[in-house]
Copies of this chain bind each other. A is one copy, B any other.
Amino acid sequence: MTPKNTSVDAKGYNNLDLHPQDEKFMRLALKQAQKAEQLGEVPIGAIIVDKSGKIISKSTNLRETKLTTLGHAELVAIHRACKKLNSWRLIDCTLYVTLEPCFMCAGALVQSRISRVVYGAADPKGGALESLSQLGNDPRLNHRFNVTAGVLAEESTALLKNFFKKKRSK
């Protein structure tokens, strides 16, 4: 599907382009989400890519497996990328995540000084990049990043719906 750039535009984001490799990288994030499901985790996946297009970290959601609040896929991917780069700053990097990040993860992306975030499905109840807040473009904060929304959103939503449907039928 095409990204929902019009809705993002209305929120004031300044980079609405779908980059040539976005779908490829989002497919890899979806693979991570599928791994989460095998672990009994809510299927969400994330990967981080540097400016040359090299993948520097990836993670599934690991909250139940690792029993930590910090187990969201985005936070684990950020931490692993920091270890790889030996820096708490992820300058010129892009994070791909299958679901719109929550306040914790969106706040971490601001703190990380990341350049760009691409997400799949919107999260109307908890998303902090578009749905409940626009933390990627908040003029009060000391860092902003570009956001592209809606990349392979239907695949991400299908994974989540299927997971919760199976869970309810157990």
A107 at the interface (CB under 8 A from B): yes
- 8 A Cβ contacts from A137-151 to B: 138, 140-142
Task: Give the interface segment out of A10-18, A25-33, A85-93, A153-161.
Answer: A85-93
- Asked whether any CB of chain B lies closer than 8 Å to the CB of A152, the reply is no
Contact A126/B142 with A69-B79, A79-B70, A88-B63 known, Cβ cut-off 8 Å:
yes
> What residues of chain B lie closer than 8 Å to A89, measured between beta carbons?
69
Q: List 21 A-B contacts (CB under 8 A).
A: A67-B83, A68-B83, A68-B88, A69-B78, A69-B82, A69-B89, A69-B108, A70-B70, A70-B82, A71-B88, A72-B111, A102-B111, A103-B104, A103-B107, A103-B128, A103-B135, A104-B108, A104-B111, A105-B107, A125-B142, A126-B141
User: Which 7 A/B pairs are nearest by Cβ-Cβ distance?
Assistant: A103-B107, A104-B107, A68-B82, A69-B112, A104-B108, A69-B88, A107-B107
